[in-house]
Chain A
């Protein structure tokens, strides 16, 4: 096994060519990535993509089939979860129903043999930090969803770990509470300065809180990057489709003239300006994206040219609207416009419009 990069003090976790199989089923394909000390990392993907398995391997609840996992410089393959300090906040919260709030928070200290008095003191510090000290002697069943969430956090953080693992912790909360808890988590992570690894299927959760996001699909890491990078520069069509904010156009590279590439699509040829060192040959299939807010709408009769498409629907999104078009070959195109702009166009569904964009608005996907 070749180490793909060295472990530095900035790296708290390293996945090195990790593979996880359950029988014949490959839950996580060969994966290598680093988690930086003190960062808020979100692992995002739809259900069954391997994100929870990845987290459980880090927690020591699953052992990798192949490859190595390093935690704080130490190889932890085969090290039991109770010998690691990788507390997890569970989707179900998994609070102990037969213990009081304070006993729940004290649990991991008790398991580590901390004396009764010190346990109580340390637990109360965290109950206070999470603003649930007044519920210390209550039963779990007497708490609201948000309060339980705070107990789960206090219970996981009471040992003051270097890393906290969170497995879709907010999925059971209603939308309003979810936003509030996101703020709590975000601030907590900044205050404590410890590493958070946060598994979620929700783009808004991942993108609003995380410093970096890993996008996974079918056991594979599709892209790692900051939310900005991933949003504006998705690596491939999967990520672009998964985020759902941009329109994807597939074509063939027909001409390379410096940084002006010509891509032939079903709608004609487009000039794009690829970023970075893309090694592509003419004749290769290539895709580019144009985000919904960068597309112009004009009357089909105007001389603008572009794609002629029929307006098929409109979705109200606060100050703006997302309008949906269908092209002659059946592709759906999304455009975001303000209500004001739509009114100026006399916009109506069922009518044909011309859609255009600047070549600078096109982003060439490095992988198709």
Chain B
């Protein structure tokens, strides 16, 4: 046996793992189980196996509208947030200027603002500039919220770059634009893809701000709340399971890209 193991640390880590599974994954698993249960109300013992609730949401045009809104918003947000995040991260990597720490703090601030306050502020601002209640409102709000995530991921990647690499490219005849295109972006490619997936996942799941600004263009999480308020239906479990699956797949992709960047980059 390995003698370098502290039993206290071992036990705490195991407890932590058990707690994670119990409080994070069991409820989700429960919801997943009930989504395939024929009973009207979630209760034990389970009734018969049924895909009825999935069939119902499949046939519900409102769910589809919400889903398409979510996807549309998610794709555009991922793209915008990743571009903004890359810009922020590259600025941080490349330049030294007065007030840089303030700039960085501001750029990374949005996730620390309580979402309700963010949602209210967004609604107040966007309605004043006549941009509230559209899909584009959600895109703007989510773009603001997601770009710090993208920036953090890309900054991490840039911090692993040999500081001579960029200058080496200039020295070999690459202008600043050519270097950005042929050196910086290829080097950051795994992080850029990871940022795309994660920001998309964040946008998929975000509810509060979307609820404030989406108006009639509700995204799926807003739709789910609508369902809950109207009637308690096991359809929610079915939607929830699908939303969870799509998010977790995006996160897993992102993790795989960030874990071994050298292998994925050719």
| Residue ranges of A at the interface with B (Cβ–Cβ < 8 Å) | 59-61, 80-82, 85-88, 90-92, 94, 96-100, 107-108, 110-112, 139, 141, 155-156, 159
**Chain B contact surface mostly:** helix
Partner of A82, one of B171, B187, B262: B171
8 A Cβ contacts from B157-216 to A = 162, 164-165, 167-175, 178, 182-183, 186-187, 189
Min CB distance B180 to A, Å, is 12
Task: Return the chain B residue nearest A156 by Cβ.
Answer: B172
Partner of A87, one of B162, B172, B182: B172
Min CB distance B135 to A, Å, is 36
Task: Return the chain B residue nearest A109 by Cβ.
Answer: B173
Which of chain B's residues have a CB closer than 8 A to the CB of A81? 167, 170-171
Contact at A111–B172, with CB atoms within 8 Å? yes
CA distance A61 to B170 in the complex (A): 9
Which of chain B's residues have a CB closer than 8 A to the CB of A156? 172
Which of chain A's residues have a CB closer than 8 A to the CB of B175? 80, 82, 111
Min CB distance B171 to A, Å, is 5
| Residue ranges of B at the interface with A (Cβ–Cβ < 8 Å) | 162, 164-165, 167-175, 178, 182-183, 186-187, 189, 262, 265-266
Which of chain B's residues have a CB closer than 8 A to the CB of A155? 172
Partner of B170, one of A80, A85, A139: A80
Contact at A86–B171, with CB atoms within 8 Å? yes
Which of chain A's residues have a CB closer than 8 A to the CB of B183? 96
Contact at B169–A107, with CB atoms within 8 Å? yes
Which of chain A's residues have a CB closer than 8 A to the CB of B170? 61, 80-82
Contact at A96–B173, with CB atoms within 8 Å? no
CA distance A81 to B189 in the complex (A): 26
CA distance A60 to B262 in the complex (A): 31
Q: A94-B162, A94-B165, A111-B178 are in contact. Are A88 and B187 (CB under 8 A)?
A: no
Can you spell out 24 A-B residue pairs with CB atoms less than 8 angstroms apart?
A: A60-B171, A61-B167, A82-B172, A82-B173, A86-B171, A87-B171, A92-B162, A94-B165, A96-B168, A96-B169, A96-B183, A97-B262, A98-B187, A98-B265, A98-B266, A99-B186, A99-B266, A100-B266, A107-B182, A108-B173, A108-B174, A111-B169, A111-B173, A141-B262
